Amino acid sequence: MGQRAALSHVGVGVIGCGHWGPNHVRVLDSLPGCTVRGVADRDEQALAAAARQHPSIALATPSAAELIERDDVQAVVVATPTATHFELARQALVAGKHVLVEKPLSVTSAQARELIEVAAARDVVLMVGHVFVFNPGILFLKKELEAGRLGDVCYMDAVRTNLGPIRHDVGAIYDLASHDVSIFNFLLGAEPVAVSARGQAFTPNAEHEDVAFLTLEYANGTLCHSHASWLNPRKVRQLTVVGDKQMAVWDDMQPLEPLRFYDKGVSQKRYATFGEFQLVLRDGDIAIPKVEMFEPLVRQDQHFLACVRGDAELRHSDGRGGLSVVRVLEAAVRSFHEDGRRIVLD
């Protein structure tokens, strides 16, 4: 592996101008030390919209290869459907480009491992867009967990629902539960040892699950549950963390007060008269901390650029972290197709 050259200015190409790609263009176009050189998408209307919104972009092309091959593009963002992530990311890595690929990293763990190997061989950055590990509420919660405020984590319960958007290349597990898996792993600093999943496809002609319920088991005994659905009347982004000292609820739909800590739990009390123990419910105060708010995508893309320039070391969302999430998703889909059988991860 060679010594990575430091970059003072980064030219970026964004592949995919559909649902999420334009957000990357907007953010990157506003960051110092970065220029969006071009965008690529097979949809002519999406390209035209990107060109109208960002007239400074030099190239709008239906060819991802044309964008990747540009000498003034040092980094590439892949914001396309999940099924296309591997081929596009690999093409960019082979060309010696730094790559930020949207979640999940790939469809299979074998693909993820290959991308990690190619990135290492070319000595370029490979980052995965697990944007919620840059969420201010999740970062605040991470610090509180590390400080021991909640004690040992008994379980976490995540709900991620909305009416659409419905994907066609993957189901709700890969599209939605991938966020929760990345959050679980980030907060616990660990990977699950077993996974099980149940779900169903309800929409007409559906090839993939519309709703799924995942259970993740961690080596320390912590259980994590994810309810993921794009067939629900309410948009919900919530996480409940139950510790043996305190409990917490994160609600991303409450931007002013995303976190609440509950001094609640179960304690054991001894009655001297009978020499017996009885479980007692503890119902204490609710604390609402002041959380500094910022746009997670801005922090994520800033970190990517800093790593590309050599000013920072990649954390949280490197290829290894992306692989860990893909392994869980892969096992969850297998469990789903096998009537919820518990799958042990090697």
- The pLDDT tens digits for 63-121 are 999 999 999 999 999 999 999 999 999 999 999 999 999 999 999 999 999 999 999 99
User: Stretch 216-221: mean pLDDT, rounded?
Assistant: 98
pLDDT, one tens digit per residue, over 31-73 is 999 999 999 999 999 999 998 988 889 999 999 999 999 999 9
Count of other CB atoms within 10 angstroms of residue 192 = 26
Please state, in angstroms and rounded to a whole number, the distance separating the CA atoms of residues 312 and 333.
35
Query: CATH says 10-132+297-317 is which class?
Result: alpha beta
How far is it, in rounded angstroms, from Cα 314 to Cα 312?
Answer: 6
pLDDT in tens, 277-292: 667 787 889 999 999 9
pLDDT tens-digit profile of 189-209?
Answer: 999 999 999 999 999 988 999
Q: What are the start-end ranges of the H helices in 222-289?
A: none
Given this structure, which CATH class describes domain 136-294+327-344? alpha beta
Could you check whether 10-132+297-317 and 136-294+327-344 share the same CATH topology?
no
pLDDT at 3 over 70: no
User: Looking at the predicted structure, is the pLDDT value of residue 275 above 60?
Assistant: no
For residue 172, the Cα-to-chain-centroid distance in whole angstroms is 14
pTM of the full predicted structure? Answer: 0.94
Domain positions in the chain are 10-132+297-317, 136-294+327-344
For 223, the enclosing helix (H) or strand (E) is: strand 223-229
Question: Among 126, 69, 71, which Cα is nearest to 101's?
Answer: 126
